[in-house]
Amino acid sequence: MSDPVRAVLVRQLDTAWALARHHMGGLSTAEMLWRPAPRGPHVHASPDGRWRADWPDHEGYDLGPPSIAWVAWHIGFWWSMALDHAFGEGMLVREDVLLPPTADAACAWIGGLADAWRAALAELTTEDLRSTERTRWPFRDRPFGDVVAWVNVELTKNAAEIGYARFLYGARGGGEG
């Protein structure tokens, strides 16, 4: 990889993805659907068996913690949006993004998005990272390198949320919560 900026961004992605894979490894569907508190962002079954996610109207702490299922959906949502808006038609909307029905399928979906993102990054030039041409979501009029860096931060944050929820699930003391 001859571009040093792209190389740094890809190394950061690799680190964030390793953390995500670690926390998603061995995830069960029951664990994914467990709610760490009586309220907080979660998913609900759609007619086709996949899961539709809540969309909170604020991000205050009183909202409650998200379930792992919601965080998994959120990863799939923002990664699908980033891919579609930077490298696709740019027509995808939040309501079109549904979580697969099992933990294995959800983790495979996210893994496919990671592979697609990494492959797309491999094709970028220094000029692509500096250009605003691909920057259509979640930002506008910023260098595309900002979107790549944002993906790395968002993935790291979401991976940590999954890990923390798994610690809570593991320490819950015998109940299903």
Q: CATH code for 4-36+65-170?
A: 1.20.120.450
What's the average model confidence in pLDDT over 167-172? 96
The pLDDT of residue 173 is above 90: no
pLDDT of residue 46: 87
Q: Where are the domains of the chain?
A: 4-36+65-170
Burial of 150 (0-12, 13-18, 19+ CB in 10 A): middle
pLDDT of residue 2: 66
Q: How many residues does this entry show for the chain?
A: 177
Each residue's pLDDT tens digit, 120-144: 999 999 999 999 999 999 999 999 9
The pLDDT of residue 75 is above 90: yes
The pLDDT of residue 103 is above 50: yes
pLDDT of residue 3: 83
This prediction's pTM: 0.94
